Structure 1
């Protein structure tokens, strides 16, 4: 009898590991589900199956502003080194892994001109300036974007630039009592700048931090806004309406509604509304089931676009249909492995080690990024010269 019961502890241990990694406690599962919806919209857009899926990036930006507002502005006292290290361990390991592996697997066999552009894009991605490189080289919605496996890192560069801004705000805001005024001012100025870009027809504003800062600020301002006190019925109705706006935008928006269009404000406000409401029955029914996808959304975002680009290079034609479905299936497997063995490992290490070891590790991550970026810069230079 004892022998028959031996596998039970192993099963329980694996269940605990899976619950810890994919169903983390002390988190709002509906917000993880919102992330899952966002990454699904982006992937389906890049696969060519959903015309308005680009709004997934807008969703991510608002959510990022919300969480960074908590990590930086709501911490008393603010711990600068802890904030920086947490961001580095969260982002760099998986990014370095993706760019290193894709570069090693791709750069030696692509055309020389492609090699130069891909390498330089990867280098800019590693120093979080990919959006600046992209704004001067390629339109995000144009056909040539399929040639760049690291083009999608423009949004990660935006996010790191926002982290820098909010880090400085966290350091300086204690010097002023007008925190709400500062955040509201940033939101207003950025929204006005975005509107000006729209009037001017500046399509490359899609990559610009100043045109996106109002979205980040909107998420951050949730912390300074009073939470509505609603009955469960009313909260569920508003929650369902906000979710309908997001899904409707993903289904029916066209490229003309991409940032800096005024139409982006509607899904962004819907995201902020969902975050401000408490967990509802609608959220548990519609968003919580896809929360595991939201948990691994960073890894999925990192790997899905290189997977599509590499497939198009390998097959010499635009991948679509069942072939695209197969590519995305492979990407999902790679993303899970990346989350478990790279992303999660980095965060767990940062949690358990002493402060001095944590800081040394962060410095090592930065050094690794700089070395790989230098190698890619050199590859790009040599490819262009010859």
Structure 2
């Protein structure tokens, strides 16, 4: 059983707030929250799959689905029920198709062909943000293969180096691409093999605080030009890795305060964007100011509800059957 760290929950909370504030138009570089999520995911997946003596491929993949799919399925089904019946046929088809790809975990491929993440057209798609969940699930499949082959630290380092080189050579899909982000996951995975740093109180506190400050500064100072696959994305990733490597730092109290947000971060991430998009459709303009504040408060409410009542484990077979049924229905709507 992995020990749950409150400061990493807090780091998740910081990451999801950065993304939400970016989508609200309040932080120009809040997209770095996704980079931080990738490092955290890589760290935990290494511990779960690559460092476990009793690794079971079936258990690994079913637990991932049981953890992620219920809240995603609930969100997609509810948003489609609320929106699809009153949209224009072209919009309805696009949103249904995007919802289907979200449920089948290839919405990053769909987004690459249909919508620029930083373009105004992104406000037309309530499931566009699920591209990151698709990238994460694709990474899980790679981890599954590495776990079955009993490969670990060296494989992660080679994959990470190859990914970074490929992203800088322009061989990947750019912002939405798995190959362009594998090095972020690999970084988190590789540091899981390193012993926790036992530094003196003062240097540990200073390094930890500097890492948190670096992530926040990136959120405020970065622009679209600094987004992945830009090399500037290394800064928030290294900062996240440093935080993870300093579990005993006295300064972790800074992130501990955000741990309640981190606990609901998955559901909060799922709900904030469709609510912003839905409000944009409803008011027929991009929302700002008080309207945006209200949208984020509704997102918080839906995130709490989803965390408390939906993020529960169900039978993997039943989940997959329900998911495929909804995906098939959305495909039917998209071609109707």
TM-score range, shorter chain: over 0.9
2:159 aligned residue: 186
Task: State which of 270, 293, 299 in structure 2 corresponds to 1:325.
Answer: 293
1:340 aligns with 2:313: no
Aligned residue for 2:181, secondary structure, equals: helix
Q: Is the 8 A contact 1:30 1:279 kept in 2?
A: no
Task: State which of 68, 91, 95 in structure 2 corresponds to 1:114.
Answer: 91
1:77 aligns with 2:50: no
Give 5+ residue unaligned stretches, structure 1.
1-24, 350-360
Displacement of 1:62 in angstroms is 0.5
1:93 aligned residue: 70
Q: Distance in 2 between matches of 1:106 and 1:182?
A: 44
Task: State which of 213, 225, 243 in structure 1 corresponds to 2:182.
Answer: 213
C-alpha deviations, 1:184-219, integer Å up to 9, x for none? 11010001011112xx8x8x5100000000000000
Task: State which of 319, 322, 329 in structure 2 corresponds to 1:368.
Answer: 322
1:169 aligned residue: 146
Displacement of 1:279 in angstroms is 2.9
Displacement of 1:226 in angstroms is 4.1
Displacement of 1:180 in angstroms is 2.8
Displacement of 1:225 in angstroms is 2.7
Change (3 A) 1:141 1:65: same
1:103 aligns with 2:103: no
Q: Is the 8 A contact 2:196 2:247 kept in 1?
A: no
Give 5+ residue unaligned stretches, structure 2.
none
Q: Distance in 2 between matches of 1:333 and 1:279?
A: 33
Displacement of 1:309 in angstroms is 0.3
For normalisation by structure 2, the TM-score amounts to: 0.97
1:239 aligned residue: 208
Displacement of 1:140 in angstroms is 0.5
2:261 aligned residue: 293
1:356 aligned residue: none
Q: Distance in 1 between matches of 2:7 and 2:196?
A: 17
Q: Is the 8 A contact 2:100 2:327 kept in 1?
A: yes
Q: Distance in 2 between matches of 1:26 and 1:169?
A: 23
Aligned residue for 2:292, secondary structure, equals: helix
Aligned residue for 1:278, secondary structure, equals: coil
2:280 aligned residue: 312
C-alpha deviations, 1:311-365, integer Å up to 9, x for none? 000111111000110111111111100100001x32xx6xxxxxxxxxxx10111
Q: Is the 8 A contact 2:198 2:248 kept in 1?
A: no
C-alpha deviations, 1:227-260, integer Å up to 9, x for none? 4331111111111111111011001001100000
C-alpha deviations, 1:69-107, integer Å up to 9, x for none? 111011102122221121111011101100000001100
2:333 aligned residue: 379
Number of equivalences? 335
Q: Is the 8 A contact 1:123 1:376 kept in 2?
A: yes
For normalisation by structure 1, the TM-score amounts to: 0.85
Q: Is the 8 A contact 2:36 2:240 kept in 1?
A: yes
Q: Cα RMSD over matched residues?
A: 1.3
2:104 aligned residue: 127
2:13 aligned residue: 36
Displacement of 1:27 in angstroms is 1.4
Aligned residue for 1:228, secondary structure, equals: coil
C-alpha deviations, 1:146-178, integer Å up to 9, x for none? 00000000000000000000011000026xxxx
